[in-house]
Amino acid sequence: MAEPGSAKGLPVNARITIPDDELEESFIRSAGPGGQNVNKVATAVQLRFAGAASTVLGDEVKARLLRLAGQRATKAGEVLIEASRFRTQERNREDARERLVALVREALVPPPPPRKKTRPTRGSVERRLEAKKGRSTVKRMRGRVDD
């Protein structure tokens, strides 16, 4: 049973679809508890996405993707996602693909523009200095009284 959309690729948004030839799935045995099944059935999924060599992503998006991937990015520029949360191979496969799509969507969002430096207004500077003088006077008045 083929997954909908898997014939043409992995849809990220309305404009971007990752082609299947840029994705590589391999099935491995899951680690941890699971009884007899865990030692016999390869249910965990390793999903490799050739991020640096991708034809559908721009250079800036590729750089952001590899930076966001962190430990999941290889030196060759691939993003490696392992999914072993579920007991079935198909559900782990869907989970890995969903996590890759979420990562790519996050990389598609451009960073906010740098903050513009502003200066305080003259009125705010004067108000601040007046308040400081007032506090200074109050504290000076708390000193010892000379007779």
Looking at per-residue pLDDT, the higher value among 48 and 133 belongs to 133
Type of residue found at 96? A
Type of residue found at 101? V
User: What per-residue confidence (pLDDT) applies to 137?
Assistant: 92
Residue bearing tokens 């869907």? 94
Interval 114-139 mean pLDDT: 95
User: What per-residue confidence (pLDDT) applies to 20?
Assistant: 74
Domains defined for the chain, CATH in brackets: 9-108 (3.30.160.20)
Could you count the other beta carbons within 10 Å of the beta carbon of residue 45? 25
Q: What is the dihedral of CA 51, 54, 58, 62, to 10 degrees?
A: 10
Beta pairing class for 79-83 and 17-18: unpaired
Reported pTM: 0.63
Interval 86-108 mean pLDDT: 84
CA gap 87, 142 in Å, rounded: 73
